[in-house]
Homo-oligomer: A and B are copies of this chain.
Amino acid sequence: MDEFEFIDHIKQRTYKQNSVVKGIGDDAAIFRPTTNDVVTAVDTFVENIHFTSKTTTPFHVGYRALAANISDIAAMGAVPTFYLVSIVVPSEIGEETLLQMYAGMNDIAKNYQMDLIGGDTVSGEQLVISITVIGYLSTQIARYRSNAKENDVVFVTGVLGDSAAGLHILLNELSVKDGSYFINRHQMPEPRVRFVKKLQYVKRIALNDISDGIANELRELAVASDKDIIVHDEKIPIHPSLKQFNTELQYRWKYFGGEDFELVGTVGNRDWLDLEKVAQEIGLKITKIGNVTLKQAKHPQVLLWKDNSLSLLKNEGYIHLK
């Protein structure tokens, strides 16, 4: 396959979004937004830094890369619609591998009726996949990190630490209880688009997606909103089978394990019941883990209640693949 045949191969025959005016095949793509506001972000993944072929198939590299991008759009309260893909391909990577990455992206894209509207494939020494995602925002006010107010409920969707556990299982080739569950959560995370979409009528939500671990995301919410956030260790939701690992791993994974792509946010007390209702409707677990308070020190802080004492939740940062 030459470059033109390759583009022809990955190019969609039809577009799911009516708002596509011109898809792939000219100097640029054109779309006609159906909402006032358009949301966009870019995320880049490098082999042996963000993923390794030891634990991730080409299909899952594509799937996870787009999932991460979709999650950013969801965390703004928007609905993902389009993506553009730039790939740097080393010579040892064959056509089949490349097509598998596109198949992985396509697999998650179709869940959201997303269309591939642009891209660039170039040669280089190391595999790099960079995705730009575009979404439409219907809410009057986006779900900014800075939206948190005093006395807000702090909530999180799903359970935390699964992706880090899945990676650990893959890297160490462990045979553990619910191993395939954790591996699946690592390889095919599900961004919370449906949840966000159903909450469009709720006036104010502060929202962040958990790409780098909840400790980091809570800090971002606290700093952007200039408030303190207090969370309770025993309330942080984890999968029952996570308890088979030692408590140190559990702690690391639930606070600093990245790429669960769950949402963490804050909402007024009166709206909390609505969130619980919507979550129940779509079968999504949602948990109240703490509260927003006025800041006690000069800088905003995230505080953790654990073993009957309150201490700073340090941001040890995301567990990079190393």
Q: Which residues of A contact B (CB under 8 A)?
A: 21-22, 25-33, 36-46, 49-50, 72-73, 75-76, 78, 82, 84-86, 88, 117-120, 122-126, 128, 130, 132-135, 137, 142, 144-146, 207-209, 224
Contact = CB atoms under 8 A, between A and B. Distances in A.
Nearest to A72: B27
A44 B130 contact: yes
Nearest to A42: B84
A38 B42 contact: no
Contact of A38 (B38, B84, B86, B120): B38
16 contacts: A21-B37, A26-B76, A26-B142, A28-B78, A28-B133, A28-B135, A29-B40, A30-B37, A31-B37, A33-B38, A40-B134, A42-B86, A42-B118, A42-B120, A44-B86, A44-B88
Contact of A43 (B33, B38, B46, B120): B120
- Point out which of A27, A82, A208 has the most chain B C-beta atoms below 10 A from its C-beta: A27
Nearest to A84: B42
| 4 tightest A-B CB contacts, nearest first | A28-B41, A27-B75, A132-B132, A46-B124
B46 A27 contact: no
Contacts of A41: 27-29, 84, 118
A36 B146 CA distance: 30
B122 A49 contact: yes
Contact of A28 (B25, B36, B39): B39
A39 B28 CA distance: 6
A119 B124 CA distance: 21
A302 B301 CA distance: 66
A109 B228 CA distance: 38
